[in-house]
Chain A
Amino acid sequence: MAELKGWRDIPIGGLILEPGCAESYETGSWRTFRPVRDEEKCIHCLRCWIFCPDSSILVEDGKVVGFDYDHCKGCGICAFECPKKCTAITMVLESEVR
């Protein structure tokens, strides 16, 4: 994360002057749990991608390829929405993964 700036060095009024810069704010550090996907069980229905509030399901050519762990906040919606017959996504404690 970038070094914190002083009051003189930031735009006034809380304005954000750079379009699309949310991408550079890495909220992944907020996670307590992270989603882990079992490739064998995944049917690439893309429900997780549809419901993810942080656009953190990575999809290529219509197939799930991974998670954007820089931005995933570990909300668990992907694991919840993954069809019960698949349960391809499990939420694992960050502390156990790191």
Chain B
Amino acid sequence: MAVKFDRVALTGNEAAAEALRQVDPDVAAVYPITPQTELMHKFAQFVYDGDIQTELVCVESEHSAMSATVGAAAAGARAITATSANGLALMWEIVYIAASLRLPIVMPVVNRALSGPLNIHCDHSDSMGARDAGWIQLFSENAQEVYDNTIQAFRIGEHPDVLLPVMVTLDGFILSHTTEVVDVTEDDAVKRFIGEYKPHYTLLDPEHPITVGPLDLQDYYMEHKRQQAEAIDNSPKVIEQVAKEFAELTGRQYGFFEDYMLDDADYVLICLGSTGGTAKSAVDSLRDDGHKAGLLKLRVFRPFPVELIANTLKDRKAVAVMDKSATFGGLGGPVFNEVRSALYGKSTAPIVNYIYGLGGRGINTTQICSIGMDIIEGRTDTLVRYFGVRE
């Protein structure tokens, strides 16, 4: 592993932009929205400076951004875009189309609360809102993970057994605008890792004219959806393989989740994204007090690693799932539902939900410790709690 790297200080947005610079995609269709804007600003600067050959298309809305990205990808280009919150919401119909057309688009999503009320700060409601669209969804804890996930995303989505778009998420402001240390692998090594893009199909081949996006009637729509299900069900082994190769390249290991002090943990906390960092400190604190606590920091939310989660959590004494988004009218948040579903029939231990951090409300070590202490001390009667809300 003699691959060179530079240790630099980058924000999450800059880390994503740097990864995208190294990939040098054919097309990027872009529209700004806080807190994603600086990601594309940085990327646009690379284009302007002539560092990369990307065709940068400035469109009039996020709906157009995804539409143009889909069009470019259907024409055989390696195409990207990036957004947040209501930008993702505005492109919602095309997000579904990108997945159904089996286009391996990579899109950083800088997690921000969906309006209303209008809020520009971090929560996961945007990405979670798109969880049924058929995209692969990766969550990043810090700027290094943002960089690493963005690079791996291309290999995952473009794999012939997958051919699906990939959302690389990073917490708005907390990661996007915070400077951290990132090891940036040398350009050539990244280029070799990504490889040349060989599109599965293209509109631009006169020898093989095709129709993209035609009508399906009642007799075939379900069969096409079954194909999509097969594709995302194929993705776990690809995610693993890509992570293995990435570890060979950089020495950094990735899986479906990061386990922190999980081996002998009786009491498990689950969270996604930047909260993972804070939660690790909380776990350290709980351990110092003699409690066998551990953290499962989920990286891959889609496809949800059902069996892995079930096998990892089935013999624990209690699990607290932290959701940075809510599902109104459902039983708790999205992660809670998936975890609980995975554990059905496998465990009778209490699994409880803490909905936290909506609209960027912070959560600190002390607060996470208190969540830990709730399950440690058996205060698990209330299934779903809105954590930290003023009554």
Contacts and interface: CB of A to CB of B under 8 A. Distances in A.
A14 B163 contact: no
B interface residue count range (under 10 / 10 to 19 / 20 to 34 / 35 or more): 20 to 34
Nearest to B206: A19
Contacts of B231: 12
Contacts of B58: none
A15 B212 contact: yes
B223 A13 contact: no
Interface string A1-38: 00011110010111111010000000000000000000
A16 B216 contact: no
Interface string B310-324: 000000000000000
A19 B227 contact: no
A interface residue count range (under 10 / 10 to 19 / 20 to 34 / 35 or more): 10 to 19
Contact of A16 (B101, B163, B200, B214): B214
Nearest to B219: A4
A10 B224 contact: yes
B201 interface: yes
A13 B100 contact: yes
A60 to B, nearest CB: 28
B390 interface: no
Interface string A49-88: 0000000000000000000000000000000000000000
B376 to A, nearest CB: 48
Nearest to A13: B102
A10 B103 CA distance: 17
Interface in B182-233: 200-201, 208-214, 216, 219-220, 222-224, 226-227, 230-231
A4 B216 CA distance: 13
Nearest to A9: B223
A7 B223 contact: yes
A19 B210 contact: yes
A33 to B, nearest CB: 21
A15 B210 contact: yes
Given A5-B223, A7-B226, A14 B208 contact: no
Contact of B209 (A4, A7, A14, A19): A19
A10 B163 contact: no
A88 to B, nearest CB: 33
Q: Which of A7, A13, A16, A19 has the most CB of B within 10 A?
A: A13
B210 A12 contact: no
A14 B231 CA distance: 14
Contacts of B210: 15-17, 19
A10 B220 contact: yes
Nearest to B208: A17
Given A7-B224, A7-B226, A14 B214 contact: yes
A17 B231 CA distance: 20
Contacts of A17: 208, 210
Contact of A12 (B208, B214, B216, B227): B227
A16 B209 CA distance: 9
Interface string B93-122: 000000011110000000000000000000
Given A19-B209, A19-B210, A14 B226 contact: no
Nearest to B223: A7
B205 to A, nearest CB: 11
A6 B100 contact: no
A12 B163 contact: yes
A16 B215 CA distance: 10
A17 B102 CA distance: 15
B223 A16 contact: no
The 8 closest A-B pairs by CB, nearest first: A7-B223, A16-B211, A13-B102, A19-B209, A7-B226, A13-B101, A14-B224, A12-B102
Given A13-B163, A17-B208, 7 more contacts: A4-B220, A10-B220, A10-B223, A12-B200, A12-B224, A14-B216, A14-B220
Interface of A: 4-7, 10, 12-17, 19
8 contacts: A10-B220, A14-B213, A14-B214, A14-B216, A14-B224, A15-B211, A17-B208, A19-B209
